[in-house]
Amino acid sequence: MNINDIRSQFPILGEQVHGRPLVYLDNAATTQKPQRVIDALTDYYSHLNANIHRGAHHLAAVATERYEAVRLQVMKFIGALSPDEIVFTRGTTESINLVAASFAKAYFDGDDEVIVSGMEHHSNIVPWQLAGATLRPIPFTDEGVLDLEAYERLFTDKTKLVSVCHVSNTLGTVNPVQRIVEIAHAHGVPVLVDGAQAVSHLQVDVRALDCDFYCFSGHKMYAPMGVGVVYGRDRLLKALPPYQGGGEMIEEVTFQRTTYNRLPFKFEAGTPSVGDVLGLGRAIDFMQEVGVDNIAAHEADLLRYATERLSSLPGIRIYGTAPDKAAVLSFLVGEAHPYDVGTLVDQLGVAVRTGHHCTQPVMDRYGIPGTVRASFAVYNTRAEVDAFFAALERVLPMLQ
């Protein structure tokens, strides 16, 4: 893996912030985009813009063909069996809301429990509450490891679904999804996996995981904002009612009654974000060219190095020390407020996240208001980790 070659593909990495070279360590919030993904958008709007599936004209036909080609690409990328199992959405949030709303309509009977993990993003909590479910959270240890024995005890005859993150955006824990699925299936309960933080770091194989739904966002894997995916097992998607009504999702409409389109179009009402989907295709090309295993190894090295450096700071507390972790490092130092740390290192060109990271229950679990979070991507370097620590060493004495 040639890091200089990779960095040269991301124009934003040449930017200066407050007169200093940008050190971008907020990749769990969103990743930067390689030139080919940016070009996919300008190419689409410069040469191809047309609404898909509907027009008889040339542009509509080519745009449709390219859009559907990305569906096949996504299918192969995550190991799905059929393009019918790939539904395009706006992002993970919409993907989970889609499954929650449709699943509830099909299977909830007024007394329903959904098992989630205690480390979920709000977007894997609130949709289930909106759907009327009672949540049963799986507890986790101080290190950030799920307690699977406690998990087994959460199943009741009201459990309708298990919905867990593959990788925690706050703690970095890679959850044992395969085992979680095995246990749920032994109870006859399907599983949704929130893969928002996993797809850019690990090789995801939905058939090996044997999960029933897998949701993710393009923008966290080098693709544009505005596109996401629900993978759903064919049989389950067929059984679910549509999420939204509108164009494209129908077969026949009268004022009396409507019949619905086949999969996956039944779940894609209205005009999709075609340019963003084409950008997702280019992002997958980029990741496959670099190699997902190479990305994972590079990020693991950065995480190890940053953890070592961080551990040498006096008063450091790292949140999330599970043995199996992806590229996220959450911490607090002494009495310094995370927001102050984030604002001051920003003045030195370093972008990190501060706050609760949309996981307030995780903050409650540790009794803290928030953390500083550095998160890594394929283009980050050890030199950037050094720049981050140089910035921390400068600002921390001001905050103690």
Q: Which residues bind ligand PLP (CB under 6 A)?
A: 91-93, 121, 123-124, 165, 169, 194, 196-197, 217, 219
Q: Is residue 351 left, alpha or beta, with left meaning phi > 0 and alpha meaning psi from -120 to 50?
A: beta
Pairing of β 113-117 and β 134-138: parallel
Nearer to ligand PLP by C-beta: 92 or 330? 92
Q: For residue 398, which of 354, 337, 355 has the smallest C-alpha distance?
A: 337
**Phi, psi of 365, rounded to the nearest 5 degrees:** -60, -40
Least distance from C-beta 166 to ligand PLP, angstroms?
A: 8
Least distance from C-beta 9 to ligand PLP, angstroms?
A: 22
Neighbours of 39 (CB within 10 A): 15
300 CB-near residues (< 8 Å, 6+ apart): 327
Nearer to ligand PLP by C-beta: 123 or 159? 123
Which of 165, 211, 215, 358 does the annotation list as catalytic?
358
Q: Are residues 84 and 90 in contact, defined by beta-carbon separation less than 8 angstroms?
A: no
Query: d(Cα 213, Cα 200) in Å, to the nearest integer?
Result: 18
Residue 20 is inside which H or E element, if any? strand 20-21
Nearer to ligand PLP by C-beta: 128 or 155? 128
Least distance from C-beta 165 to ligand PLP, angstroms?
A: 5
Least distance from C-beta 260 to ligand PLP, angstroms?
A: 25
Please, what's the b/e burial string for 377-392 (b: 16 or more CB within 10 A of its CB; e: otherwise)?
A: bbbbbeebbebbbebb
Please, what's the b/e burial string for 261-282 (b: 16 or more CB within 10 A of its CB; e: otherwise)?
A: bebbbbbbbeebbbbbbbbbbb
| Residue 129 Cα distances to 107, 136, 231, angstroms | 15, 11, 22
Whose tokens are 């090789």? That residue is: 203
Least distance from C-beta 356 to ligand PLP, angstroms?
A: 12
Nearer to ligand PLP by C-beta: 194 or 384? 194
Nearer to ligand PLP by C-beta: 95 or 261? 95
Residue 236 is inside which H or E element, if any? helix 234-239
Least distance from C-beta 219 to ligand PLP, angstroms?
A: 6
Residue 37 is inside which H or E element, if any? helix 35-43
Nearer to ligand PLP by C-beta: 71 or 121? 121
Partners of 373 in the beta sheet?
Answer: 330, 353
Nearer to ligand PLP by C-beta: 320 or 349? 320
Least distance from C-beta 119 to ligand PLP, angstroms?
A: 9
Active site residue 211: no
- The structure tokens listed for 202 are 């690990």
Query: d(Cα 375, Cα 46) in Å, to the nearest integer?
Result: 34
* Catalytic residue ranges: 358
